[in-house]
Structures are given as C-alpha cells and as structure tokens.
Amino acid sequence: MNDVERELRRAFHRRQPSAGFADRVGEAVRQGRTRKRQRQRWMAMAAAVVVLCSLGGGYWQVRREAGRTVDQLNLAVQITGEKLNFVREAAARGLLERDDAGKNVGEGNVGQNNVGEKE
C-alpha cells in the first residue's frame, strides 16, 4: 500500500453520526408504525364509506329505475285505456249507424208496396 492509499484510508475512515441518531431512528420507526396503523384505520373507514355509498347509490338507482318503469306502465295502461274507449265508441257508433240504415231500408219497401196495393 502506498502513501496515497494510506492517506485515503485515513480520510475515508468511518465516522459516527451525531449523538442520538439511533434513538431518532427508533422514534421514527415507532412514529412510522403509529402512522401506518392510523393509515390502515383511515383506509378501512374510507373503504366502508365507499361500500356504503355504492350500496346506497345502487339502491337509489334501482328505486329510480323502478319508479320509471311504473310510470311507463301507467302511461301504457292509460294509452291502452284510451284506445279501448275509442274502439268501443267507434264500435258502438258503427252498430247504431247499421241499425239506422237497416230500419230505413225496411220502412221504404213497406211504403212502396202499400202504394201499389192502393192503386
């Protein structure tokens, strides 16, 4: 080993950190553990909130869909009812008109015959 190497070994000898370094590391470990525990607790709470929100949102969505379906069903029933009414009225009107026409035809024939008989 030459002189430069000897000097380098002296210059690069290991030095101790400032006093209390190990205590500070220990404290940081304890704080880190506490922080980790707190973080886990917060994460659990956040997860619970997310689950509850999802369930609530899902329930609200289902209810909204159900309400919409009921509205659509009511509308369909209403439209069907109106159509049925219309058809029933049309059918009734048609029947009446047929009856009237039938009556008129019958009465006309009788009259003509009567006229002939008289002559």
Partner 1 sequence: MFRGRSQAEREADFADLVHEHQAMVYSIGLHLLRDAALAEELAQEVFLKLFENWGAFESREHVKNWLRRVMVRRVIDHTRRAKLRPCPGLGSAPEPRVPVYEPDILASEHLELLVARLPERARQIVALRYQEDLEPAEIAQLLGLSVGAVKSTLHRSLLWLRTRMERAGVRNERC
Residues that bind partner 1 (CB under 8 A): 2-5, 7-9, 11-18, 21-22, 24-26, 28-29, 32
Contacts 24+ apart (CB under 8 A), 55-61: none
CB-nearer residue toward partner 1: 3 or 107: 3
CB-nearer residue toward partner 1: 10 or 118: 10
CB-nearer residue toward partner 1: 4 or 115: 4
Q: Compute the least distance from the CB of residue 38 to partner 1, in Å.
A: 16
Where do the H-state alpha helices sit in 3-20? Answer: 3-11
Buried/exposed code over 79-97 (b: 16+ C-beta within 10 A; e: otherwise): eeeeeeeeeeeeeeeeeee
How far apart are the C-alpha atoms of 28 and 107, rounded to whole Å? 116
Q: Compute the least distance from the CB of residue 20 to partner 1, in Å.
A: 10
Q: Compute the least distance from the CB of residue 41 to partner 1, in Å.
A: 19
